[in-house]
């Protein structure tokens, strides 16, 4: 969130006429073309044609905080039951406008100058950051922040890939592939579908006395792992199995390129093996889900759903088959996470 939207706070002055609004917008746009930022947050220029108005960011922030306080106080009074009549509302609104007018006058600003300065600050990232910082100091509110979009598991930016066809094939695994939903990489879509499968396998265990619910979620698991079996459901319609086999295929294509380094060839084997182990695990998930759908015995279905939930969680995490306390890429243990780990190692090796 930001402290200053394109127009600060709530309506602080009487609504301007259409002619005045258009005139102000055109004038402000023209003025912005010559704007430049000075060290102390003052945009220096007078309100001459073609020049941006002078903006004292600290002063503008103080005015903004004061106007916000006026608005908040007025809103509180207008919300009181005794002030619900039209006459009372009109009087309170007029009083608010009067207070804001007096406030601006005491700061040496007209309404027009104030509106122009707000416009300049709201359209200049540097001034906006200074404004937010001053408001935070005055009010004690935290600075507005930017939340970075989460990166999908398995995703690697194209800029991080090796050059040539080796990078192209690895990119099909990690970055983008033409046949996947939203053209996601094969490994990211495998993670997405595996998450859906694991989620619905877990949901099936919530009420093990409800056979219909267990069958329903078993069908959702089937759709997520292989939509050729169940064609509709909560998954993306690509399937863990198809995605995992695609990972193995395209990483091996990368290793077969004449320009592939020994590093690429070694880790491609690890990635492909983990991906194929995932596809094998999908077959086991399918078998369990089908048994749940076919049985009419609630107790049997309950037992199977427990097994299904455990197995579905291993699609991403892999499984410690030999009970040595670790999950390796080989020996039938690897899952999507192990494939991702070795993609990371592969890319790190290419940077050396």
Is residue 115 located within the same domain as residue 163?
A: no
Is residue 204 located within the same domain as residue 325?
A: yes
The single-letter DSSP state of residue 182 is G
User: Rounded CA gap, 59 and 49, in Å?
Assistant: 23
Is residue 200 located within the same domain as residue 106?
A: no
User: Rounded CA gap, 269 and 52, in Å?
Assistant: 62
Among 139, 171, 190, identify where a domain stops.
139
Structural domains counted in the chain: 2
Asked if residue 153 is part of any domain, the answer here is: no
Is residue 334 located within the same domain as residue 241?
A: yes
Contact assessment for residue 5 and residue 122, using Cβ atoms and an 8 Å cutoff: yes
Asked if residue 144 is part of any domain, the answer here is: no
Asked if residue 313 is part of any domain, the answer here is: yes
pTM of the model: 0.61
Nearest to 250 by CA among 169, 154, 179: 169
Beta bridge partners of 43: 55
Asked if residue 10 is part of any domain, the answer here is: no
Asked if residue 148 is part of any domain, the answer here is: no
Asked if residue 151 is part of any domain, the answer here is: no
Is residue 120 located within the same domain as residue 85?
A: yes
Beta bridge partners of 42: 56
Is residue 197 located within the same domain as residue 231?
A: yes
- The residue segments making up the domain with residue 73 are 18-139
Is residue 165 located within the same domain as residue 301?
A: yes
Is residue 189 located within the same domain as residue 103?
A: no
User: Rounded CA gap, 319 and 325, in Å?
Assistant: 10
pLDDT score, position 216:
96
Is residue 57 located within the same domain as residue 200?
A: no
pLDDT, tens only, 173-189: 999 999 999 999 999 99
42: helix, strand or coil: strand
- What count of other Cβ atoms lies within 10 Å of the Cβ of residue 206? 12
Residues (pLDDT < 50) of the chain are 1-52
pLDDT score, position 259:
95
Among 139, 166, 193, identify where a domain stops.
139
Is residue 82 located within the same domain as residue 205?
A: no
Asked if residue 13 is part of any domain, the answer here is: no
Is residue 183 located within the same domain as residue 309?
A: yes
Is residue 332 located within the same domain as residue 220?
A: yes
Asked if residue 202 is part of any domain, the answer here is: yes
Token reading at 24:
């102000």
Q: Which H or E element spans position 307? A: helix 298-317
pLDDT score, position 244:
98
Among 83, 111, 139, identify where a domain stops.
139
pLDDT, tens only, 268-313: 999 999 999 999 999 999 999 999 999 999 999 999 999 999 999 9
CB-based burial label for 81 (10 Å; 0-12, 13-18, 19+): exposed
């Amino acid at each position: 969130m930001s402290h200053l939207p394109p127009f600060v706070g709530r309506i602080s002055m009487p609504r301007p006429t259409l002619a005045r609004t258009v005139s102000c917008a055109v004038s402000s746009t023209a003025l912005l073309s010559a704007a430049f930022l000075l060290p102390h947050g003052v945009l220096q220029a007078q309100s001459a044609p073609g020049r941006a108005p002078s903006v004292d960011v600290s002063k503008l922030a103080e005015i903004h905080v004061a106007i916000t306080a006026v608005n908040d106080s007025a809103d509180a009074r207008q919300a009181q039951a005794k002030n619900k009549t039209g006459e009372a509302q009109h009087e309170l609104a007029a009083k608010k406008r009067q207070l804001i007018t007096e406030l601006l006058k005491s700061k040496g600003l007209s309404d027009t100058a104030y509106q122009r300065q707000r416009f300049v600050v709201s359209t200049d990232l540097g001034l906006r950051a200074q404004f937010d910082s001053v408001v935070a100091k005055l009010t004690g509110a935290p600075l507005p922040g930017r939340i970075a979009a989460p990166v999908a598991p398995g995703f690697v930016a194209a800029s991080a890939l090796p050059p040539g066809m080796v990078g192209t094939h690895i990119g099909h695994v990690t970055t983008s592939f033409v046949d996947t939903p939203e053209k996601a990489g094969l490994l990211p879509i495998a993670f997405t579908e595996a998450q859906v499968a694991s989620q619905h396998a877990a949901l099936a265990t919530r009420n093990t006395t409800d056979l219909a619910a267990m069958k329903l979620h078993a069908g959702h698991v089937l759709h997520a792992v292989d939509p050729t079996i169940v064609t509709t459901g909560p998954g993306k319609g690509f399937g863990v199995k198809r995605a995992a086999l695609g990972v193995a295929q395209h990483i091996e294509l990368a290793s077969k390129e004449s320009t592939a380094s020994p590093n690429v060839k070694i880790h491609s084997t690890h990635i492909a093996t983990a991906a194929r182990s995932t596809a094998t695990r999908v077959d086991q998930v399918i078998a369990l889900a089908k048994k749940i759908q076919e049985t009419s015995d609630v107790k049997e279905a309950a037992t199977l759903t427990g097994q299904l939930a455990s197995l579905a969680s291993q699609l991403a995490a892999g499984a410690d088959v030999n009970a040595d306390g670790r999950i390796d890429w080989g020996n039938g243990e690897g899952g999507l996470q192990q494939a991702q780990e070795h993609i990371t190692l592969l890319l790190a090796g290419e940077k050396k």
